[in-house]
Amino acid sequence: MMLVDASRCTGCGACAKACPKQAIVFQDDHEGFPTPVILQDQCVECGLCNKVCPAINMPQTHEIQQAYAVQLLDKEALKDSTSGGVFTVLSREIFRRGGVVYGCVWDENYNAVIRCAHNEEEMKPMRGSKYVWSWAGDTYPEIKQQLEAGQTVMFTGLPCQVAGLRNYLRRDYENLFTLDFLCSGTPSPMAFQKYLDTICKPGMKRSELNLKFRDKNPYGLGVHITYKGRKAKKTSDHISNPYYYSFYTRLVDRNSCFQCPYGTEQRVADLTMGDYWGVAKFHTEFDINSGVSAILINSERGNVLLQTVSEQLQIVPTRAADIAAGNNLSLGNKRKTIKVAPFREQFFQTVKTKGWKAAEYRYLLTKPRVKVIIKDGIKRMIPSNVKVILKKVLKRKG
């Protein structure tokens, strides 16, 4: 038996979980992405692995019906959400119905994994984007059992994970709600762990890091990466933080992300959330600095769920085209293309054999990035009282 070409495999895990002989195991490839391998001596050639593989058989998709700009009214929860906090209100509604929510959390070693939450306390760690590939496969059999038992389930994750789950289930369940997001690609867990090696103090446990990719407290919306590592608290942005920069420039994405079929108006989930980048151009009624989500309604089931929670949101109809303007969403025949960095292979090789710092010095000290780092460094060297005086002087001059 042959699985889909590794360059198209998203690592959703559906094949391994569907295999009746447990003949598929996941092993890290040379870039550190878990990838399925068939144990040929246990394989009975039933072909189920290929049947459920979303890279071979994409599940039936939905057309976008309506788009909204939304912001959670609960300001406390909004602060801990990546953008407008729509995930939180939808989860609360599922718990109110006695259901469970699947979402991504950090495990004790800072691996991103999809887990099940039965209540709001268990859901809180799911808030916040973890910008690294996450493992969902183990949840599929458990979800099937819950659905069969009549429990309401909301699965949130990458579009390719939603596709994997739907193919694994092989039928629709009225009590299943799926929520994916506009996705720019998922970085290598190996590269991420090598980066974490550089910010942890020697002997420090990963769980002490408290890393946040989009910390709004107190910086407001944007990319503010904070962690407690070698320094008590360190902050940086999408350019000066080397890991985020590698994610932002699509250097460490999984190979399959470069030919991702999910970034179009044909959606695999009932609802799609995203950061509404550029919202100020289209809607002035929001407190933009607190974060605004974009949400796409793709099915009637998703529509009903969102309408049920609309009183907990500031919600304004918008155009999918306006969301697409600043985001990873392609409408019509236009497809957004991504360039593969010419030094991608060498970058991974260096990270793997010599560690993150060696790869960073060799490949990530580009001119624009160095300029930003120097500017930041100078800013940090100026004492804060001098900064206040300078600001006042500049204001007077302006």
Ligand X SMILES: Cc1cc2nc3c(=O)[nH]c(=O)nc-3n(C[C@H](O)[C@H](O)[C@H](O)COP(=O)(O)OP(=O)(O)OC[C@H]3O[C@@H](n4cnc5c(N)ncnc54)[C@H](O)[C@@H]3O)c2cc1C
Residue numbers of the site for ligand X (CB under 6 A)? 81-88, 103-104, 112, 126-132, 134, 156-158, 181-184, 186, 273-275, 293, 327-328
Other CB atoms within a 10 A radius of the CB of residue 104 amount to 22
Shortest CB 254 distance to ligand X, Å: 10
Give least dist CB 356 to ligand X, A. 19
Q: Which is nearer to ligand X, 266 or 330 (CB)?
A: 330
Cα–Cα dist 85/69, whole Å: 11
Shortest gap between Cβ of 51 and ligand X (angstroms)? 24
| 19 vs 254 by CB, closer to ligand X | 254
* Cis preceding-peptide flag for 218 (omega within 30 of 0): yes
Q: Nearest approach, Cβ of 281 to ligand X (angstroms)?
A: 15
Nearer to ligand X, 23 or 67 (CB): 67
| Residue listed under structure tokens 């699947």 | 102
Per the document, the length of the chain is 398
Q: How far is the CB of 156 from ligand X (least distance, A)?
A: 4
Q: Which residue number, 23 or 274, has a Cβ lying nearer to ligand X? A: 274
CB 69 within 8 A of CB 279: yes
The nearer residue to ligand X, 19 or 104, going by C-beta atoms, is: 104
- For residues 359 and 371, give the distance between their C-alpha atoms in angstroms, rounded to a whole number: 19
Neighbouring C-beta atoms of residue 142, cutoff 10 Å: 13
Min CB(78)–ligand X separation in Å: 8
CA-closest candidate to residue 126, choices 108, 101, 103: 103
> Which of residues 335 and 375 has its CB atom nearest to ligand X in the complex?
335
Closest CB to ligand X among residues 13, 84: 84
Residues 321, 280: Cα–Cα separation, whole Å: 15
Distance CA 198, CA 251 (A): 19
Using the Cα atoms of residue 191, residue 83, residue 94 and residue 296 in order, give the sign of their dihedral: negative
Name the residue nearer to ligand X (CB basis): 48 or 106.
Answer: 106
What tokens appear for 67 in the block? 């788009």
CB of 11 to ligand X, least distance (A): 11
Closest approach of ligand X to the CB of residue 161, in Å: 6
- The two tokens of residue 353 are 């054999």
191-201: b (≥16 Cβ within 10 Å) or e: bbbbbbeebbe
Nearer to ligand X, 36 or 157 (CB): 157
Least CB distance to ligand X at residue 132 (A): 6
- Long-range CB contact pairs, 213-221, < 8 A, 24+: 213/128, 213/129, 213/130, 213/131, 213/244, 214/82, 214/83, 214/128, 214/129, 216/79, 216/80, 216/290, 216/291, 217/79, 217/80, 220/289, 220/290, 221/83, 221/288, 221/289, 221/290, 221/291
